Amino acid sequence: MARKYSKGAQKKVKKAMHERKKGTLRSGKGGKGGKVKSRKQAIAIGLSEARKEGKKVPKKRKSKKSRKKKS
């Protein structure tokens, strides 16, 4: 089943992708982490910004290590 994201979350990701294309998207607190070149990282930044604003975004996926410990 497809994951559901709100329109506000989609706009945040779209904005992050445009900033990455222009070369102005930066990672880390206050943009001190350097330029973002990865598409996946740009999407992650957009989703995390949407989460902070309280938009409807599914929870982060758990890592494979933590899933294996349960079973």
pTM for this structure? 0.74
Q: What is the pLDDT of residues 8-64, one digit of tens each?
A: 999 999 999 999 999 999 998 888 888 999 999 999 999 999 999 999 888 877 777
Tokens 């992050």 sit at which residue?
16
In a domain, 21, yes or no: yes
Distances (CA, A) of 41 to 32, 46, 52, 68, 70: 15, 9, 17, 25, 28
- Tell me how many domains the chain contains: 1
In a domain, 68, yes or no: no
Q: Which domain holds residue 46?
A: 7-57
